[in-house]
Chains A and B, each alone.
Chain A
Amino acid sequence: MAIEILMPALSPTMEEGSLTKWLVAEGDAIQSGDILAEIETDKATMEIESVDDGIMGKLLVAAGSENVAVNTVIAVLLEDGDDADAVPTATAPAQQPEPSKSDAADAPATTPEAPTSPPAFEPVVPMEVPEGTKMIETTIRDALRDAMAEEMRRDEDVFLIGEEVAQYQGAYKVSREMLEEFGSRRVIDTPITEHGFAGLAVGAAFTGLRPIVEFMTFNFAMQAIDHIINSAAKTRYMSGGQMACPIVFRGPNGAASRVGAQHSQDYAPWYGHVPGLKVVAPYDAADAKGLLKSAIRDPNPVVFLEHELMYGETFDVPDVEDWLVPIGQALVRREGTDATITAHSRMVGFSLQAAEILAQEGISVEVIDLRTIRPLDEETILASVRKTNRLVTVEESWGRMGIGAEIAAMVTEGAFDYLDAPPKRVHQVETPLAYAANLESLSMPNPERIAQAVREVCYV
């Protein structure tokens, strides 16, 4: 059968072009790969190669023709037994093959093979702490360690990888004694190679292992952010649900103390922006433990943001077996009626202090610990604002495009009619963080600044 050669598109947007030159003549023997012609658009010149073998039957568009529409038949190639004279000479554009949009039911629309379903995952439900449960005073550091150790005892596929996590016992001693218990196969010291070991861990997670990747701090995860976003967060979607990536990226986030601009930054809004990730930032030890255990069991990539200045703080952790806190649920840490404060991580403590100050002044504040940045617990926040009619958001990151900006937008969309004042955002000032003690403290939120923002939304 004769083969029609069509005017090709050089790009999805090209509609027509010029046929500048034929490199073959009628009657020439053509092999696949031979250059047939040169075409040109305002952007590029390209050669048309033959895909088939045969004899050039007819050249239907003359060299030098301009404005040749894409998909016009420009030549006809004859295969064995074809007759050149039987070839039509019309040069109308060939029918554009219309993608058929028939119902999925008509056409075999299934993927060629059934995707293997990701490992079964039981959603974590909030746990009741029974009356009389013993509470154990635990530092956040130990709560995190206990979470990892418990999950590693429970699941052989879980391992910890990062810089100084094994022999040195963790740069912040979070992985203390883990090497001794689990050995170097499962507690793995890496070279200083964030980009590489993050990618390596994501690759391992693609096969179903459950890596916990410790970044010495999240400042250094910038080296690896490509793998966190492009490889971990997007692969499930890009694979049509075939590939899972059960991985936890964890480490200290936010400003430490007097360590300067490159070591002081809250990345919550960076990761909170990305579909395909879950982002968790706990405040106290019970949440640190329960949320980290949930994160390790989660079938999705989870970014788990800790706080260096909180590692040594002590809180009660319920002495129950398998303490789990569900990802995606905020916690009302203090109930109130006059204004709502939202905060995460260390800022929750500052907000509770602010609420204490304000209570002296007769202002009743509700403090919401976000706990999870993505997915945000919209319901809890909206319910609170509908009650208090006023909102102050607190975060360590910069304000522009930040968590507070997001929450303010969400509340404006979801509870506009309930607001008695424009929301206010408390955050780090819009500069890199200074080293000098006075400038550093001028930059960051503190209880008094939070209290002042609440007074302002209450118009007092």
Chain B
Amino acid sequence: MSGSNPKSKKTPKKKKNVSNYDSAELLHYYREMLQIRRFEEKAGQLYGMGLIAGFCHLYIGQEAVVVGMQAAIGDGDQVITGYRDHGHMLTLGMEPRGVMAELTGRAGGYSKGKGGSMHMFSTEKNFYGGHGIVGAQVSLGTGLAFANTYRGNDRVSLAYFGDGAANQGQVYESFNMAKLWDLPVIYVIENNHYAMGTAIARSSSETHLHKRGASFGIPGVEVDGMDVLAVKEAADMAVAHARAGKGPIILEMKTYRYRGHSMSDPAKYRTREEVNAVRAQSDPIEQLKQTILEAGFSDETALKEIDKEIKAIVNDAADFAKDSPEPDPSELYTDVLA
């Protein structure tokens, strides 16, 4: 059995209608996506140099999902995800330095080096982690939404999870409660077509994951997760739905990860051609770049300049992450209990 075909778009892209957007907005998305990509590439490099250890899951290829989604939320809205979390944090405005230094396990990291790649949090940015147990963030994220309802505010929570996580029992326990109590949670399924080495068709009886809420009465939408503008439009709709008190909603983002599941995955379960085809035809950053150029919002030189600025930020983060000291041994016993 082979996996489902992620190369959904084979034909050359139609010219995007960008009349609803201005150049500042598109350039912002471009910058955000590029920052994730460069950050992750750098993380991969530092891993190769032995500066980052353990599990390190890169977000390369999926950038449009988090950038489009998080452009639609506002102050006080909450975000929670699994272990593939670097992009979520950067897009929330968490410092690249603090994230990279956590990857290297240093005192300057968001968790003082005690969490690692999979476990970072920011109370200031309402980022609730950073969780290593597949599916756990779905119940936890439903609880964030519960807290909003309990407090009677109009905040919404975004709970991101993968196509593999979508088969966990607690996801459906959460769906049931979320609809039962009409909690303002947006379930963002990042369907990158693989859970480690398992292609979705080998694990899922219903591979159209946006339909998984149907028996609970939760609406679901399939979204081209490689197109940041499509993501943003879906996100706006979903956030409005949840904020209006209509309860949970599922967005299934069809996306793709270019790298292995984690740094130590040789990715033998798919062909190089498959990866290359996605990259060539639906890379989220390239697509947006074309849109920006065609709309005359910017030119190659200006975009190169953005790339340069981002490289500088990422290099600075990497330097910080190398130079930050390891946590003081006295930190070993702190933060266990209040």
Contact = CB atoms under 8 A, between A and B. Distances in A.
B120 interface: yes
Interface string A176-203: 0000000001000011010111111111
Interface string B73-109: 0000010100000000000001101100000101111
B27 interface: no
Given A201-B143, A202-B143, A226-B133, A104 B114 contact: no
Contacts of A191: 173, 176-177, 180
A112 B98 contact: yes
Nearest to A53: B307
Given A99-B322, A230-B136, A203 B51 contact: no
A361 interface: no
A332 B169 CA distance: 45
Interface in B301-327: 320, 322-326
Contact of A243 (B123, B132, B146): B123
Contacts of B139: 195-200, 202-203, 227
Q: Which of A101, A112, A115 has the most CB of B within 10 A?
A: A112
B256 interface: no
B143 A204 contact: yes
B54 A112 contact: no
B150 interface: yes
B127 to A, nearest CB: 10
B336 A236 contact: yes
B131 A196 contact: no
B70 interface: no
B48 A6 contact: yes
A104 B328 contact: yes
B41 to A, nearest CB: 4
Given A111-B110, A242-B111, A70 B50 contact: yes
Interface residues of A, number: 76
Given A71-B50, A197-B177, A199-B174, A276 B147 contact: no
A412 B115 CA distance: 35
Interface centre among B45, B48, B120, B177 (most CB of A within 10 A): B48
Interface in A216-247: 226-227, 230-231, 235-244
A51 B139 CA distance: 37
Contacts of B335: 236-237, 239-241
Contacts of A198: 139
Contact of B337 (A199, A230, A243, A278): A278
Contacts of A298: 338
Interface string A1-29: 00000101111100000000000000000
Nearest to B283: A33
Nearest to A241: B335
B173 A197 contact: yes
Contacts of A196: 139, 142, 170, 173-174, 176-177
A109 B113 CA distance: 11
B143 A51 contact: no
Contacts of B113: 240
A121 interface: yes
Given A191-B173, A231-B131, A231-B140, A99 B51 contact: yes
Interface string A61-104: 00000000011000000000000000000000000110111111
B113 to A, nearest CB: 8
A131 B140 CA distance: 48
Interface in B182-235: none
A209 B112 contact: no
Contact of A206 (B49, B132, B143): B143
Contacts of B54: 12
A282 to B, nearest CB: 20
Interface of B: 41-42, 44-45, 47-51, 53-54, 78, 80, 94-95, 97-98, 104, 106-115, 119-124, 128-133, 136, 138-144, 146-147, 150-151, 169-170, 173-174, 176-177, 180, 258-260, 263-264, 266, 272, 279, 320, 322-326, 328, 334-338
Query: Which 5 residue pairs across A and B have the least CB separation, nearest first?
Result: A203-B143, A199-B139, A196-B173, A8-B48, A112-B98
22 contacts: A8-B49, A9-B47, A10-B264, A11-B264, A44-B264, A71-B49, A96-B50, A97-B49, A100-B322, A110-B108, A112-B94, A112-B108, A196-B173, A199-B143, A200-B140, A203-B147, A208-B147, A227-B139, A239-B110, A239-B129, A243-B128, A243-B129
Given A11-B263, A209-B150, 8 more contacts: A10-B266, A45-B266, A196-B177, A203-B140, A227-B139, A236-B335, A239-B110, A300-B338
